[in-house]
């Protein structure tokens, strides 16, 4: 294994190989990230794998990202407050996201043993439902990764050989890693002894609201300033 080159050297090599297929690029924390369009993704991945100057033969990880309300907080304040609720404890605040473009992205973490270097490839996915080409024909290890992203984010991978849920139950409703997925879920599962089988029913649990404790003055336990006043 050779010594890892500098990130800017890798970025220059990527531009020479891919050219205009790179939409954006950046170097952060010593790692190179490039953005490509879903239409160019299969061709870009083939070049990254087969070009011997790059040789990204291994797909280490593939994951989905939900950029809904990215960079925004439920509320912003300069000081600690005694009131306020997040979206997790308030009803009716889940956002209808059907018209939001570029909400989802798929990230590919690649490893080149020849260069001793890693690369992050990101592709934003639009449409309803969100669709992106599968890369299982390029890296066979993408099979279960893509099933996981489909299960948790609802991203469809076109031409995947067996795209079905992998972590949640077959009858599960929704995709739990989406930012607007209710924290208590949509349905709950329990075993019904009368019917002798597992049944689905509306959610009966409610989110527990944790209220911060307010320390109040107690005459039985004088505060330090009260003791000083007595002296």
* pLDDT exceeds 50 at position 184: yes
- Cα gap 147→150, rounded to integer Å: 5
What's the pLDDT tens digit per position in 9-27? 999 999 999 999 999 999 9
* pLDDT exceeds 80 at position 218: no
**DSSP, residue by residue, 47-110:** HHHH-TTT---EEEEEEEEE-TTTT--S---SS--S----TTSSTT-----TT-TT-EEEEEEE
In this prediction, residue 94 carries a pLDDT of 40
Mean pLDDT of the chain: 83
In this prediction, residue 2 carries a pLDDT of 56
- Could you tell me the two tokens for 155? 């991203």
In this prediction, residue 187 carries a pLDDT of 83
* pLDDT range class, residue 225, cuts 50, 70, 90: low
Is pTM, for the whole model, over 0.85?
no
What's the pLDDT tens digit per position in 112-151? 999 999 999 999 998 888 999 999 999 999 999 999 999 9
Helix, strand, coil share (%) of the chain residues, nearest 5: 20, 25, 55
* pLDDT exceeds 80 at position 3: no
Nearest by Cα to 111 from 1, 193, 228: 1
168 DSSP assignment: S
The strand pairing partners of 123, in sequence order, are 106
**Residue 28 exposure: Cα atoms within 13 Å on the Cβ side:** 5
In this prediction, residue 89 carries a pLDDT of 45
CATH architecture of 7-69+97-179: 2-Layer Sandwich (3.30)
What's the pLDDT tens digit per position in 91-113? 444 444 444 568 999 999 999 99
What's the pLDDT tens digit per position in 49-77? 999 999 999 999 999 999 987 766 555 55
In this prediction, residue 98 carries a pLDDT of 47
């Amino acid at each position: 294994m050779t010594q890892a080159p500098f990130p800017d050297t890798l970025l220059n090599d990527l531009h020479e190989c891919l050219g205009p297929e790179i939409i954006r690029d950046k170097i952060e924390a010593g790692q190179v990230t490039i953005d490509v369009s879903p239409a160019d993704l299969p061709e870009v991945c083939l070049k990254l794998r087969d070009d011997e100057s790059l040789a990204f033969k291994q797909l280490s990880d593939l994951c989905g990202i939900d950029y809904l309300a990215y960079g925004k907080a439920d509320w912003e304040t300069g000081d600690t407050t005694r009131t306020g609720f997040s979206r997790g404890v308030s009803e009716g605040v889940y956002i209808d996201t059907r018209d939001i473009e570029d909400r989802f992205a798929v990230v590919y973490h690649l490893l080149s043993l020849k260069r001793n270097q890693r690369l992050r490839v990101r592709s934003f996915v639009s449409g309803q439902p969100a669709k992106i080409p599968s890369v299982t024909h390029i890296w066979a290890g993408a099979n279960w990764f893509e099933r996981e992203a489909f299960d948790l984010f609802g991203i469809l991978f076109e031409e995947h050989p067996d795209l079905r849920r992998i972590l949640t139950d077959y009858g599960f409703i929704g995709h739990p890693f989406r930012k607007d997925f209710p924290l208590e879920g949509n349905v709950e599962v329990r075993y019904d002894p009368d019917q002798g089988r597992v049944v689905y029913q509306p959610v009966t649990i409610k989110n527990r609201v944790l209220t911060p404790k307010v320390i109040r003055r107690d005459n039985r336990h004088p505060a330090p300033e009260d003791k000083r006043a007595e002296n």
